[in-house]
Every structure is written in C-alpha cells, then in structure tokens.
Amino acid sequence: MKIAIVCYPTFGGSGVVATELGIALANRGHEVHFITYKQPVRLELLGNDIHFHEVHVPEYPLFHYQPYELALSSKLVDTVKHFDIELLHVHYAIPHAYAGYMAKKILEEEGIYIPMITTLHGTDITLVGNHPEYKPAVTFSINKSDVVTSVSENLKSQTLQLFDIKRDIEVIPNFIDKKKCNTEFTDCQRSLMAEDNERIITHISNFRKVKRILDVIRIFHGIQQQIPAKLVMVGEGPEKEKAEVLCDKLNIQDKVIFLGNSNEIDRILCFSDLFLLPSETESFGLAALEAMMNKVAVISSNTGGIPEVNKHGITGFLSNVGDIDDMVKNSLKILKDDSTLLQFKENAYKVASEFDITNILPLYESMYERAHKSNLKSSY
C-alpha cells in the first residue's frame, strides 16, 4: 500500500512512533512517504520505499504566524496526486488531523478519495488539545477522521471524557523493536559512566514541565544518600537549566551527567540499572518501554497510561505524582542487591516484549486494510 505519514520530526514520542512505524511498514513492502517540516530524527535511510517530503512555509511580512496547516494541506494534496497515495496516517491531532481533513476534502473535489487515520498520542488531548482555543477544531478533526487510534486505554477514555466524540477509538499501543535492542551492542562500556560499585540511574525526555525533571533530580538525591550512584540525564528542553541549578544547590553536580539529545538511546540504556519517569501525565510512556526492553527497571508516577506499561512490583514501582519519598524508597528496594535488581530487569524485559513490533505492526496493517476497503466502498 502507498501510505503518507504526517508527524513531528523532532525528539519526542509521537515522532519516534510515527518514524519507526513508517520504517517497519517499508520493510514489509509498503511505500511510505513522510510529510513534515524536517527529516524525522530517527529516519536515516531514504530509498525506494521510504520518501521524505518537506513542508515549506514561505515567509511574508504580513504573517505574524506562519500558516503551517495551509502549507501542509497543500503538500499533502500534491503528494497524494503525484505518488498515488492510498492512505493518510496523521500522528498527533494538532494540527495534523485538521490539515489532513482539509487535504482530503480538496482531493474529493477532484474525485480522489483517500482514508485518513488519526493517531492520538497524549498531549494533543490532555494538555494542548483541551484548550478552548483549539478544542472545537480538535473535536471536529477527530470526529471526521476515518479511523482514530489512541496509544493507550487511558488516553482513549480521557479523549472520550474531554471531547464530544461521536465515534469509536481503537487502542493500538506504542511498540518497540526487540531485535534492535538485542543485537546491536555486546559491549556496554559501563565504566565510562560510573565506578563498578555505583548504580546507574537514567532519565530520558524532552525536559518539558510535564516530565517533572526536578523530581528526577530530587529522587536521585535521595537515592545517592543511601547507595553509590550516578544519574544520566538525556535530552534537552525548557527545564534543563533549572535541573542543573538544583544539582548545584544539592551539591550533586559531580554525580549527574547531562548528555543532551542522543540518537544512541539503546547504547545508554544498556548500562542503566533504573529508569525514572515521574511525569505529571503520560499517555503511555514510550521512554519507559524503551528502558524496559533494554532490561532497565522503572520507577514512575501512576498517571495516565503508565500503569499499562510499568507493572507495580514486577517491572518497577509506581507512586503518586510528586511523591518523591515513595519513589526513593521504591528505588532502593530495587537497587538494594544484585539479585533483586536482576529479577526486576528480567521482568521488565519480559513485559516489554509483549509490545514488540511483531505484535503491534499487524494491528496497524489490518486497520489500514479495513480503512482502505471501506473507503473504496464509500467512494463508489
């Protein structure tokens, strides 16, 4: 099938899921066209089955805000016509579903009918989409999509609660490729990061407020008061500076390593013992799943879809948002001795394996088949 994928190209869960899905679909023989304003960060190889079309927004002095949606809709129309695209899959409702719907309608004027699938990722519903400034347009574009999927049961129920939705939402969880985690690194180079007797704690995110980065620092502060440990912070974002200041204030700057953004997540996770995800809200927690697939136990908050991934007492522990003391206590339970840590690590890997791409890709493919067939029926 010829599929157009619209996503955000930057570091962040929805872009990662969209890119990995596109690559996996191309490996299965589909022709995939990414349409966005920059080449997605995890998309290294373009070829016969993977194409990238850049959305360019021409500047004009009159524009206070650049009309990205307009440029995206036009790019979609052109790409669908030029490459005979059969299906459009937009990731993150804002503004992709809205722009996708416009493209679909423009194409219909020319007798071209194309199904549009919208995948809801989280903040497009829980934080941004819910704003009165966006809500009517987001509700409209969800209702008008041919198929809507969400990445967790929790996100589905939040969408139904927060918006006036008159249609079904299918849950297709985030996934990860087990093969990629298993085979690539034999030598973890742990010694570059920590002494042999130190535990390695990791956090990976885009350092936005929702991730509660300062909680990460405080949890680590509590852990290292009890056992030797290092904290590896991966990512960039608005809260990073505050986190660095807090490390100085707590006098743990020598034990915290800020690595910036990285394309080598697996390489970092392979020497990690514990992953911290104390987010305010998280529709799924792809970063936790990536950690678990690399045999890293998880300490997280119990919000949103995280309990669908991190299993309390099995793959790690969950606490109320902001309950730093509980998160420190739970971390120490996992890290206290090697055999307990090993058990949590093995459990994490086992649960993560349920989300392997080989289990999730067929769900997307069969949904595409259904959408394609019902589109063919309705266009005659």
Edge to edge, the sheet with strand 316-319 lists 256-260, 229-234, 199-204, 274-277, 297-301, 316-319
Distance CA 332, CA 344 (A): 12
Q: Which of 282, 293, 294, 371 binds ligand GMT (CB under 6 A)?
A: 282
Q: Choose between 12 and 95: whose C-beta lies nearer to ligand GMT.
A: 12
CB of 201 to ligand GMT, least distance (A): 19
With a CB cutoff of 8 Å and minimum separation 6, the contacts of 323 are none
Task: Give CA angle at 87 (81, 91), nearest 5°.
Answer: 115
Residue 349 beta carbon to ligand GMT: minimum distance, rounded to whole angstroms:
19
Binding flag, residue 159, ligand GMT (CB under 6 A): no
How far, in Å, CA of 376 to CA of 108, rounded? 13
Footprint of ligand GMT on 109-128 (CB under 6 A): 121-123
Applying CB under 6 A, among 49, 88, 92, 276 the residue interacting with ligand GMT is 92
The answer to whether 151 contacts ligand GMT (rule: CB under 6 A) is yes
From the CB of 281, what's the least distance to ligand GMT, in Å? 6
Tokens 């259904």 identify what position?
Answer: 370
Contact stretch for ligand GMT (CB under 6 A) within 6-14, 23-31, 345-353, 354-362: 6-14
- Is 211:243 a contact under the CB 8 Å cutoff? no
Of 204 and 335, the one with the shorter C-beta distance to ligand GMT is 204
Say if residue 63 is exposed, middle or buried (CB neighbours under 10 Å; 0-12, 13-18, 19+). exposed
Question: Can residue 347 be called a binding residue for ligand GMT (CB under 6 A)?
Answer: no
Q: Are 51 and 24 in contact (CB under 8 A)?
A: no
Task: Give the range of 40-48, 95-103, 190-198, 275-283 binding ligand GMT by CB under 6 A.
Answer: 275-283
Q: Which residues, other chains included, contact 146 with Cβ-Cβ below 8 Å and sequence gap of 6+?
A: 115, 116, 117, 371, 374, 375
Contact 287, 277 (CB under 8 A): yes
Instruction: Please say whether the dihedral angle defined by the alpha carbons of residues 141, 143, 148 and 152, taken in this order, is positive or negative.
Output: positive
Q: Which residue among 36, 224, 281, 303 contacts ligand GMT (CB under 6 A)?
A: 281
> CA dist 310 to 181, 252, 299, 315, 351, Å?
18, 28, 8, 6, 8
* Binding-residue total with ligand GMT (CB under 6 A): 20
> What's the min distance (Å) between Cβ of 5 and ligand GMT?
14
Extended strands (E) in 147-222: 147-150, 170-171, 199-204
Q: Of 164-223, which residues contact ligand GMT (CB under 6 A)?
A: 174, 205-206, 210
Omega before residue 307 within 30° of 0, cis: no
DSSP 98: H
Q: Which is nearer to ligand GMT, 77 or 291 (CB)?
A: 291
What minimum distance in Å lies between the beta carbon of 158 and ligand GMT? 10
Nearer to ligand GMT, 121 or 230 (CB): 121
Kindly report the number of other CB atoms within 10 A of residue 92's CB atom: 26
Taking the least distance from each CB to ligand GMT, the nearer of 118 and 205 is 205
**In the bound complex, what is the minimum distance in angstroms from residue 341's beta carbon to ligand GMT?**
25
Of the listed pieces 27-35, 43-51, 255-263, 276-284, which binds ligand GMT according to CB under 6 A? 276-284
Question: Which of 3, 5, 6, 12 contacts ligand GMT by CB under 6 A?
Answer: 12
Among 73, 283, 330, 331, binds ligand GMT (CB under 6 A): 283
Kindly list the residues in this chain that would bind ligand GMT in the complex (CB under 6 A): 12-15, 17, 92, 121-123, 151, 174, 205-206, 210, 281-286
